[in-house]
Amino acid sequence: MSDPIFFASSTALSLGDIAGAAGISLPEGVDPGAMVGGASPLETAGPGDLAYMDNARYGDVLAQTKALACLVSPRFAAKVPPTTVALVTRDPYRVYAGLLARFHPEAMRPHSQFATEGVSPGAHVHPKARLEDGVIVDPGAVIGPGAEIGSGTVIGPNAVIGPNVRIGRDCSIGAGVTLAYALVGNRVILHPGARIGQDGFGFAMGPGGHLKVPQTGRVIVQDDVEIGANTTIDRGAGRDTVIGEGTKIDNLVQIAHNVVIGRHCVIVSGVGISGSTTLEDYVVLGGQVGVVGHLRIGMGSQIAGSSNVNRDVPPGSRWGGTPAKPVRTWFRELTALARLAEKSGRDTSEPPKD
């Protein structure tokens, strides 16, 4: 439930507006001028709220909701109570997300933490840095020589922007972010504590000690990328580390040097991607996936959470397990192991008795 202290609805929408935005028709007899003041979860929504539902687990909650209107997929429409307007759409969650952005536009990206306009007196901007009009810099931020930052971008408190870094327009650089040796596109969001452009982990190992290999590449972050809190992306050793357009990266992800991630990939928290691996477009990595270096994961592939990938993955694959393999093979192996344990007649949770 949104707290009005932090996210007060900035606008109300009529049911007609909502139906038009969603590309759906209102049920017969519904007043298109009825006003919706905000959006809330099913269980807390009141008579002026919009809710959504697209999961069978919440069928009972849907039946008891007090929302004015609810976005639902066709299979759940019959469960909507008569006091709630059923807005039937094939993708209720996506439609709800778009409408929520209209109710709470300020929640779409981080803004100044200090209600700053322009450069705060407590920020440190090198005289050779170039900031377009409309850049906001919060207290404690440091912007190095030769850095260039586009209009509409917000630099959060205590962020450090290194020399010659380029940041595009309408970006949000969160509190405590460090950016070095990086070129960042437009509308990029870096959440607090992200570390971008530090050394890759490269050493020439030998019996006399491990010789550090200078990391002379960059990090390229293309337009509309979002990178979660405390995620780390190392710069390339010679080639660049690249994060493709529209890719979304969760918190606490490690991306090593020379990794190339394609467009519109989704990488969930706890993932580790070793050096020189390539993810093609639209790849999805579940939470805590580990990927060995120098591999290629083909376009549109999906890897189940907690899997370990140690060989190339063909395009369009669904893999899981350790080591990762096609999910049907993985499931067959799990089923065979379960049957073997059952046949043994022994409770495997207890050690055998002498």
Quote the pLDDT of residue 293: 97
56-113 per-position pLDDT tens digit:
999 999 999 999 999 999 999 999 999 999 999 999 999 999 999 999 888 999 899 9
Quote the pLDDT of residue 7: 80
178-225 per-position pLDDT tens digit:
999 999 999 999 999 999 999 999 999 999 999 999 999 999 999 999
Quote the pLDDT of residue 212: 95
What predicted TM-score, i.e. pTM, was given to this entire model?
0.92
Quote the pLDDT of residue 11: 82
Residue 347 has pLDDT above 80, yes or no: no
**Residue 187 buriedness (CB in 10 A; 0-12 / 13-18 / 19+):** middle
144-158 per-position pLDDT tens digit:
999 999 999 999 999
**Annotated catalytic residue: which of 111, 210, 257, 294?**
257
Of 7-16, 280-289, 293-302, 331-340, which gets the smallest average pLDDT? 7-16
Q: Is 191 a catalytic residue?
A: no
Mean pLDDT of the chain: 94
